[in-house]
């Protein structure tokens, strides 16, 4: 659209000189002026196209996104949770998963796993992934400190990473500030053909 507007402006600028043009060659000053004007318009078109065609583009391509959380307390077996979604390049995919736990003799608390992801497919092949997630885990057994029941720490994360299509990447490792729990986050983005 911008290119059409610039082309129209260029034609309108040249129209008076074309309509009122006398037969014969133009004066050197007029030729120089026309060349400079044409170069300026071409530069504007090139800059406009560069803005419209960034390295990461919104294409009609779907991307499968898999986020795997590995939640481990001490030497206990690790619990894995995987969230998978498909989103178009340049569009957001959002998953909301929440519940409330009401343990006997304790206050109810939420259990949440929310994931927002926006992939952008590169013309060269990599995928830029904007990722945000919230994880409020289930209270595990044996998580007590000095006789008080501890609510497990939540993880809230937002980041942008570059991924190779189909290859998983560990994007974070979070340590619980109270217990010896750790949460490892792995992400994989696969461009679907």
> SS3 letters for 107-152?
CCEEEEEEEEEEEEEECCCCEEEEEEEEEECCCCCCCEECCEECCC
- Are residue 112 and residue 165 in the same domain, yes or no? yes
| pLDDT (tens digit per residue) in 57-88 | 556 789 999 999 998 888 888 889 999 999 99
The pTM for the full model equals 0.64
- Are residue 117 and residue 38 in the same domain, yes or no? no
- Are residue 45 and residue 101 in the same domain, yes or no? no
- Are residue 96 and residue 40 in the same domain, yes or no? no
- Are residue 73 and residue 124 in the same domain, yes or no? yes
Number of domains in the chain: 2
- Are residue 44 and residue 90 in the same domain, yes or no? no
Domain that holds residue 10: 2-53
Q: Return the pLDDT at 42.
A: 66
- Are residue 69 and residue 44 in the same domain, yes or no? no
- Are residue 10 and residue 86 in the same domain, yes or no? no
Q: Return the pLDDT at 4.
A: 53
- Are residue 131 and residue 159 in the same domain, yes or no? yes
- Are residue 40 and residue 66 in the same domain, yes or no? no
Q: Return the pLDDT at 187.
A: 96
Q: Return the pLDDT at 18.
A: 47
> SS3 letters for the chain?
CHHHHHHHHHHHHHHHHHHCCCCCCCCHHHHHHHHHHHHHHHHHHHHHHHHHCCCEECCCCEEEEEEEEEEEECCCCCEEEEEEEEEECCCCEEEEEEEEECCCCCCCEEEEEEEEEEEEEECCCCEEEEEEEEEECCCCCCCEECCEECCCCCEEEEEEEEECCCCCEEEEEEECCCCCEEEEEEEEEEEEC
> In degrees rounded to 5, what are phi and psi of residue 41?
-65, -40
- Are residue 72 and residue 109 in the same domain, yes or no? yes
Q: Return the pLDDT at 103.
A: 76
- Are residue 18 and residue 73 in the same domain, yes or no? no
Digitized pLDDT (tens) for each residue of the chain, 193 residues in all: 555 554 455 455 555 544 454 556 767 777 777 778 777 776 666 565 445 555 555 567 899 999 999 988 888 888 899 999 999 998 999 999 988 888 777 778 888 899 999 999 987 778 999 999 999 887 654 455 555 566 677 888 999 999 999 999 999 998 877 778 888 999 999 999 7
């Amino acid at each position: 659209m911008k290119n059409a507007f610039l082309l129209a402006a260029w034609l309108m600028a040249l129209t008076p000189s074309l309509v009122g043009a006398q037969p014969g060659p133009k004066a050197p000053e007029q030729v120089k002026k026309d060349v400079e004007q044409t170069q300026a318009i071409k530069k504007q078109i090139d800059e406009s196209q560069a803005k419209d065609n960034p390295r990461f583009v919104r294409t009609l391509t779907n991307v499968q996104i898999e986020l795997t959380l590995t939640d481990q307390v001490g030497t206990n077996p690790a619990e894995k949770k995987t969230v998978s979604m498909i989103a178009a390049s340049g569009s957001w995919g959002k998953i909301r998963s929440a519940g409330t736990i009401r343990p006997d003799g304790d206050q109810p608390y939420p259990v949440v796993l929310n994931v927002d992801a926006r992939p952008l497919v590169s013309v060269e092949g990599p995928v830029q992934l904007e990722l945000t997630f919230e994880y409020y885990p289930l209270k595990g057994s044996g998580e007590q400190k000095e006789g008080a029941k501890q609510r497990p720490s939540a993880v809230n994360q937002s980041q942008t990473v570059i991924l190779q299509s189909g290859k998983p990447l560990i994007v974070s490792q979070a340590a619980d500030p109270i217990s010896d729990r750790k949460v490892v986050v792995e992400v994989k983005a696969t461009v679907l053909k």
